[in-house]
Structure 1
């Protein structure tokens, strides 16, 4: 039987972690000291220097190597957007075992923490958005929400709230737990060796170019595209669905993060598998999920009804809503 999108007329009871916790109160008094993780600072600095050098090598890279770089970029990005985000964090659709394995491999190539940790932190982000318990609290500025949160120790509230989340669905997923168990062994091979080895072995690209372009540059690009959802999409753009929250609709982020920049919509309706009301428009991730449903590898997509979207936009939006 073909999959049919199920319109939701109200908040989905299965996604309780999506609901913002209005009972949470930030502690009064002095904030805990910021502890810099110098290892991360050094590694991120070297990574970005390597990526800049990788850009300089693009003119000497073969066309096949550049195509391979794009393929790896999209594959690893889907491991985050369609996998860790829409599937495992929000449970907005269901995926078969082969698709879950495919997405887990893509997520490993993306190297943004294992699926379990990524989904846990993202659920905390939604439940305590823009507070001390938010891992990448945008109130602390662009740099912090973009990359700075990875360069310092987590705020104690992030750790405390993360431990209290219900994560049994993640623990019950054998693909998630297998990846978590062997993550440190898999990452060097999947994220760096495979992207480098294929162009060197298959069409004779130099190892130097193969390492710095499809491995280092590709990895850094996907990282920053993902981070823009936490930073730029929480600061710049309109808020057609809910003007009371920070997340915005940001077209640049939507393009660079293959569909994740419809962020005011996503924080208003986090259980929608499409993260947007506009279908495939600038949304490669939604195209991918729909194609997987067509192939029978995914099912039970959750989608917000147009009536609910319009009613919410009229009630809480900033007046900029344009459907269609």
Structure 2
């Protein structure tokens, strides 16, 4: 009798404990969902374009560079124009399209140490951000393409996807989460970390070198000519070349593949951005080194990669297009991103 009474007294507590234990996973899932929503919300224009979140340094830099680009024609010289074209190719094609994009973000190839240093140097001189920020943001874009959480979704407006998304600061804890989730292996790469810390220094050194060279050649006019053409105009053209990939190629063009986003292939962006305009191809097969998948889809960045491979500077180049379907299991598109990245390492 006493034993039955004891059981009847203890059973409510036991039931309560079991109920609490069953509720723990639900609470944990709710917490994770809230954290994820908060993370994705931090990339929205509603959050980033709040007055107290405006990145005045980036905004001021963009005003300066674009003003310099408008002034450049008044300080024309053939030497400066040549430097502009050379640096546009080095920073936009080699630095961004090859280095930050296909090499760092998508791991489409491996590079020897000298080639890796050079492409990261070119990327630093593009002034499109640090390598970790660029790669992490791009990987998130592929995972959330044209959805809530995409850092530059055209669904938030064409101007937002083209340029306005750059003008909002990320909270420090969100930036930390971005790096830890999307570029964990790059955070252990010494050379990448070196350029992460010295990006601004390389820009200053390049600017001073151009000014000094121009001054030595033609005094004040030469110094301004080299700075305005070699930095301001070149950067402005390269900026918009790559920004059109975020905006225009999610709005206009044709599709070779059925993807879950609105990516398109747009010939004039492919010309301006050294092959990056074949964007539907890229979103269908993001892990591939070539972006052009049809004979007429020219891809100058792919030509450079083939040249690097020929001379032994590039290895493990991923170039074989799967016969059917899209790269749904690509590590950049996977929901269980960290696990897929670990498997691929």
TM over 0.5: yes
Does residue 210 in structure 1 map to residue 226 in structure 2?
A: yes
Compared CA separation, residues 164 and 65, structure 1 to 2 (3 A) = closer
Higher relative contact order (CA 8 A, sep 6+): 1
Aligned to 2:187: 171
Compared CA separation, residues 281 and 201, structure 1 to 2 (3 A) = farther
Which deviations, in whole Å up to 9, do the C-alpha atoms of 1:200-225 show, x marking residues without a partner?
44677711211111111111111111
1:94 aligned to 110, 117, 126, which one?
110
**Structure-2 separation of matches of 1:282 and 1:52:** 30
**Paired residues for 1:256-295 under 5 Å:** 256-278=272-294, 281-295=297-311
**Structure-1 separation of matches of 2:135 and 2:311:** 26
Gapped regions of structure 2 (runs ≥ 5): 1-35, 328-345
Does residue 180 in structure 1 map to residue 181 in structure 2?
A: no
Does residue 61 in structure 1 map to residue 76 in structure 2?
A: yes
CA contact (8 A) 2:65 2:235 kept: no
**Structure-2 separation of matches of 1:96 and 1:167:** 20
Select the structure of larger CA radius of gyration: 2
Which deviations, in whole Å up to 9, do the C-alpha atoms of 1:97-123 show, x marking residues without a partner?
000011011011101111111101111
**Structure-1 separation of matches of 2:143 and 2:171:** 15
Between stretches 278-287 and 254-263, larger displacement belongs to 278-287
Which deviations, in whole Å up to 9, do the C-alpha atoms of 1:252-280 show, x marking residues without a partner?
11000011000011011000011221479
1:43 aligned to 61, 68, 77, which one?
61
**Structure-2 separation of matches of 1:262 and 1:289:** 17
Q: What SS does the aligned partner of 1:307 have?
A: coil
CA contact (8 A) 2:162 2:244 kept: yes
Compared CA separation, residues 172 and 158, structure 1 to 2 (3 A) = closer
Does residue 75 in structure 1 map to residue 93 in structure 2?
A: no
Between stretches 255-264 and 204-213, larger displacement belongs to 204-213
Aligned to 1:321: none
Once the 2 structures are TM-superposed, how far is the Cα of residue 95 of structure 1 from its aligned partner? Answer: 0.4
Q: C-alpha root-mean-square deviation of aligned residues, in Å? A: 2.8
Compared CA separation, residues 118 and 166, structure 1 to 2 (3 A) = closer
Once the 2 structures are TM-superposed, how far is the Cα of residue 61 of structure 1 from its aligned partner? Answer: 2.6
Compared CA separation, residues 306 and 131, structure 1 to 2 (3 A) = closer
